[in-house]
Amino acid sequence: MLFEPISIRDVTLKNRVVVAPMHQYSAEKGFATDWHLMNAGRYAAGGAGLVIMESTKVERRGCGTVGDLGIWDDAHIPGLKRCVDFIRLHNSVPGLQLGHSGRKARRFRPWEGGAPLKPLPDIWDWEGWELVSSSGINSPETDPTPRALTRAEIPEVVERWGQGARRAHEAGFDVLDLHMAHGYLIHQFLSPFSNVRNDEYGGSELNRMRFAIEVVESVRAHWPASKPLFVRFSVEDDFPAGGRTRAWPWPRF
């Protein structure tokens, strides 16, 4: 069945070979480059039914490294559309993952060690590249402490996911994947280890799921019902002292 077509909503893949989103760390101030065209294009030309481009950040604060791809501005659309057109040229379906690094932002790239960055004169918009999270908790303890998003800020961040979905649609993507895993921002709200809020976004399982649910609702308001919407979860967390535990039930979107 791997090489048989499959339809999800109104989108049909020519086969069931899916290229998962993989960070390239090669954007320039958030903009797609020739590297992204080459990287996504080679998988489409190789015959994959669906090519999902990397975690693309819905706001500047969400960038994990200086090379993260962005979709927080309409100016990002043409570069992404260029990749979409090339993927489609090879009869492959173009997909995109939306993400936000939260407290895992502002870091060196993996081959540079992945440690937290310090202010450097050649980093654009350092002040706008703020560490935010569900709570003011750092992990590991040697990392900088993020600022907890205020109650008033949360709807603004949720809307940025929705606007990211709008831009993805305008760029021509047919599949959208929301990154709620690997300790990034939405995971930071879901997890009882990183989320110690005492408002409606913290405490109970439902409260910790609220941010994720609102993101999905905002995205769906801007993403056509005819197009598939995927969600990537990590449903287990590390205990502070080691081991693993299930942190929340599967949300049903």
Catalytic annotation, pick one of 25, 43, 184, 201: 184
CA distances to 108, 190, 252 from 204, rounded to whole Å, are: 34, 10, 16
201 among known catalytic residues:
no
Residue 10's closest CA among 172, 174, 169?
174
User: Cα separation of 185 and 48, whole Å?
Assistant: 30
CA distances from 176 to 60, 163, 185 (A): 20, 13, 17
Q: Which one, of 33, 169, 25, lies nearest residue 95 by Cα?
A: 169
Q: Residue 78: what are its φ and ψ, rounded to 5°?
A: -60, -40
User: What are the catalytic residues?
Assistant: 184
